[in-house]
Amino acid sequence: MVAQNGREHAGLDSWRLGLRGKSLLALLVSCLIALLPATFMGWEALKGIRDDFGLAYARNLNDLSRQTILAPVSRELALSLRLADSEVTRRWIQDEADPAKRSLFLAEAEGYRRSFREHSWFLVVESSRNHYFRDDRTTADRPIETLSPDQKKDSWYFATMRNTNGYNINVDINVPLNQTKVWFNVVVRDGDRKIGLAGTGLDLSRFLETFVVSNAAGVTPMIIDGNGAIQAHRDKSLIALNSASGGSESQRTAFDLLDTPESRQSLARAMQTAGEDVRSDGTDTGHSETAWVDMDGKRQLAAVSYIPELRWYVLTIVDLNAARFIDTGWIVPAIVAVGLLLFLLLLGFGSAVETLVLAPLRRLQHSAQAMAEGNYDVALPTPRRDEIGALTRSFGVMADQIRQHTADLEQKVRERTQALETTHRQMAEAHKKLGDSIDYASLIQRAILPDRQMLQSLGPHHFVFWLPRDVVGGDFYVFHEEGDHCLLGIVDCAGHGVPGALMTMLARAAIDHALREVGHDSPAAVLARTDRAMRAMIEDSQMAHVIATNMDVGLVSIDRARHRILFAGARISLYWSDGVEVQEIKGSRRAIGDRKVGDYEDHDLDLHPDRTYCLTTDGFLDQAGGDHGYGFGRSRFAEMLRDNAHLPLTEQGKAIAKTLADYQGTRPQRDDITVLSFRFD
């Protein structure tokens, strides 16, 4: 038996070596026959035409970049020249304080602004050094700054005014606007006298994306001036800011990017030649000059052309080894010939592989597919004395093991499914009980809110906007009345949901206890007594070390007979507005139950019949919304109160709710929200 197995293994090893050797030999011969001639012909062809194609590619790409930049940038420059040469502009600059001339200029400048690509213009008056700027987000009612020769950030202006040219195009950062742009600076003249500066700007990022950045592999486009200072480059750190005005103290040039002095000389000669290719009328022929340069350790081709209108050079550096510029149309016949040869070779190779390998494997595949469908009783192919035969025998053993494992797994799945169904039912029952408990807690929490008392006492003189984030929340409001005196307020307990709701019960008890002891006359005294009561409740427990127990409170005591208001707040402010003015009376910086005891102060105010008074928790002020997801904020809240102060209080409540919903949009509610407002006509 051992001898027989040895003979089988010996025969198998011999057959395995023969099959493997024949397959590798056939594949090796086929590849050599196909690749050697193709590689030789392709190398010889590419070596002869690459330089010629690369030269044409670099010139065409540079000319295309030049035309892409010239038209829109020339348009912005032309509009800036017209704005600076306008008689209306000159008249207003000469008499800046005249409102009629100012109005006439702004009306004419608005037409230019709509025509500029980025809908913006700027103007500097030489006599006052006032710098005006107008775009879609700002107005030109007042100057954005007054320039000074002592300020480094203003050097662009004074350098431009000293320049003998009528204009320059400068890449710089405007500090007051915090904008990096390609600025078109045009001098405004009255005769030979320079009286100001006007123009527009193009955002540097959009300018680079639209006119400079190239996605072509191996291509580095840039814009430089006559000194080689880089005006535009995909790497913004290389751009020489304020170079056109002579304000850049240290700047990198295109020459600094080159590796050798010979390369710098070649680029300088190409720039000189391109600048000389200008007709007598001041325009150039659009012809690109080329030069070989060394950059990044590689020999590359540089194409440069001059734009006299902008005083810029368009420079395109192409790495011929990385760029894709060869037209492959001529390769098609060669590919067809090579493909036909490969087809014939692979046809013979495929026939051999089909007979020796694929047909037996296909039969084994059909058996495997049947087993994958759950049929483990299929007949396997007849075993052979080769690798495929060994694979068939191993596959049979694996099929038996899978059959047994599948049966075991199916039994375990049935058992686990039953257990999961039981667990699911238990979880559903627990979830229902929890939901019912929270709903009942919501009813209890709403029961402590003084809606009925406030409606009977205040009627249409108040409204409450109460919006907990969850079913129950950490916000509530209070109301107590004695004769002509009443005390009302809002409370924002730390947390929301069930923890916040539980804190409201403690807070309500503490406030009621404080009112019984100190009365309604002093909200500050009520806050101080509430603070002591809350600290007494938690001083012997670990609650303060586990959860937040502080709360924000705003209380207002109203004496309707004397028309007076006393307000005290713990991190909650009282707002009032008469439709024209809005004021915020801030409360103490310390919350109730804070780590340090706060000092609370009564603010004595007149109760004006034309003023609407409002208290709000920070859930309203912090609600995210708008285009950028910022919080609603105090300034927007004050503006909302002023816009709606003339409405009846019931309509004010609806307007505030709608304003919040519109601002919030689809964003989730962050916190519990309570707004309480009152007005006595």
pLDDT for 541: 57
Q: Would you state the pLDDT for residue 248?
A: 53
pLDDT above 70 (res 154): yes
- pLDDT at residue number 225: 80
Confidence of residue 403 (pLDDT cuts 50, 70, 90): confident
pLDDT confidence of residue 474: 86
Decide if 542 is inside a domain. Answer: yes
Query: What is the DSSP code (8-state) at residue 210?
Result: I
Closest-CA residue to 363 (of 395, 406, 385): 395
> Residue 525's pLDDT is what?
94
- The residue among 665, 651, 654, 617 whose CA lies nearest residue 637 is 617
Q: What pLDDT sits at residue 619?
A: 92
Give the pLDDT mean for 580-584. Answer: 95
For residues 325 and 434, the model is more confident at 434
Residue 250 confidence class, pLDDT cut points 50, 70, 90 = low
Out of 292, 326, 360, a domain closes at 326
Domain membership of residue 548 (yes or no) is yes
List pLDDT tens digits, range 436-483.
677 777 777 788 899 899 999 999 999 999 999 988 888 999 999 988
Together in a domain, 317 and 456: no
Compute the distance between CA of residue 218 and CA of residue 293 in angstroms, rounded to an integer.
Answer: 14
| pLDDT given at position 16 | 47
The number of domains in the chain is 2
Q: Of residues 359 and 107, which shows the higher confidence score?
A: 107
> For residue 12, what pLDDT is reported?
42
In this predicted structure, the answer to whether residue 247 has a pLDDT above a threshold of 70 is no
Name the residue type at position 85.
Answer: D
Cβ burial, residue 460 (10 Å; 0-12/13-18/19+): exposed
Same domain, 319 and 464: no
Contact partners, residue 308, CB within 8 Å, separation at least 6: 278, 282, 283, 284
Same-domain check for residues 461 and 318? no
% residues pLDDT > 70 (the chain) = 81
Quote the CA–CA distance of 656 and 637 in Å, as a whole number: 9
Least confident of 362-376, 446-460, 559-573: 362-376
Contact 246, 163 (CB under 8 A): yes
pLDDT in tens, 180-235: 778 888 999 998 899 999 999 888 777 777 666 666 777 888 888 878 888 778 77
Which range has the worst mean pLDDT, 275-284, 414-423, 660-669?
275-284
CATH number of the domain bearing residue 61: 3.30.450.20
| Domain containing residue 652 | 448-678
Identify whether 400 is part of a domain.
Answer: no
**458 and 316 co-located in one domain:** no
* Residue 380 is assigned to a structural domain of this protein: no
d(CA 529, CA 271): 84
Record the tokens describing residue 569, joined without a space. 């707040």
Domain ends where: 326, 350, 369? 326
Q: For residues 511 and 382, which has the higher predicted lDDT (pLDDT)?
A: 511
361: in domain: no
pLDDT of 15 reads 43
Question: Quick check: 370 pLDDT over 80?
Answer: no
Please tell me the distance from the alpha carbon of residue 376 to that of residue 36, in angstroms, as a whole number. 50
pLDDT at residue 623 in the model = 94
Statement: residue 313 has pLDDT above 90: no
**What percentage of residues in the chain have a pLDDT greater than 90?**
30
Question: Which of 262, 297, 326 is the endpoint of a domain?
Answer: 326
Residue 452 or residue 273, greater confidence: 452
pTM higher than the cut 0.75: no
Task: Note whether 86 and 218 are same-domain residues.
Answer: yes
Residue 455 lies in a domain: yes
More confident residue, 272 or 624: 624
pLDDT of 3 reads 43
Q: What is the pLDDT of residues 6-59, one digit of tens each?
A: 444 444 444 444 554 566 566 667 767 767 776 777 666 666 666 777 777 777
Q: What whole-number distance in Å separates Cα of residue 489 and Cα of residue 310?
A: 67
pLDDT of residue 9: 46
Give strand ranges (E) for 191-282: 193-203, 219-224, 230-233
Residue 398 within any structural domain of the chain: no
CB-neighbour burial class of residue 621 (10 A; exposed 0-12, middle 13-18, buried 19+): middle
| Residue whose entry in the numeric block shows the structure tokens 């070390």 | 545
Residue 481 counted as domain residue: yes
Average pLDDT, the chain: 81
Range with lowest mean pLDDT among 42-46, 262-266, 326-330, 404-408: 326-330
Domain of residue 544, CATH code: 3.60.40.10
Residue 616, pLDDT above cutoff 90? yes
Q: Determine the average pLDDT of the residues in 576-589.
A: 94
Provide φ and ψ at 70, rounded to 5°. -60, -50
More confident residue, 221 or 68: 221
Residue 542's pLDDT is what? 58
Q: At what angle do helices 634-644 and 649-664 cross, to 10 degrees?
A: 140
What are the pLDDT digits (tens) for 633-678?
999 999 999 999 999 999 999 999 999 999 999 999 999 999 999 9
Confidence band of 624 (pLDDT split at 50, 70, 90): very high
Q: Tell me which range, 71-85, 224-238, 522-536, is most confidently predicted by mean pLDDT.
A: 522-536
What single string gives the DSSP state of each residue in 603-653?
EEEE--TT-EEEEE-HHHHT-EETTTTEE--HHHHHHHHHHHTTS-HHHHH
* pLDDT computed for residue 376 by the predictor: 64
* Residue 389 pLDDT > 90: no
Please report the pLDDT score of residue 404 as a whole number. Answer: 78
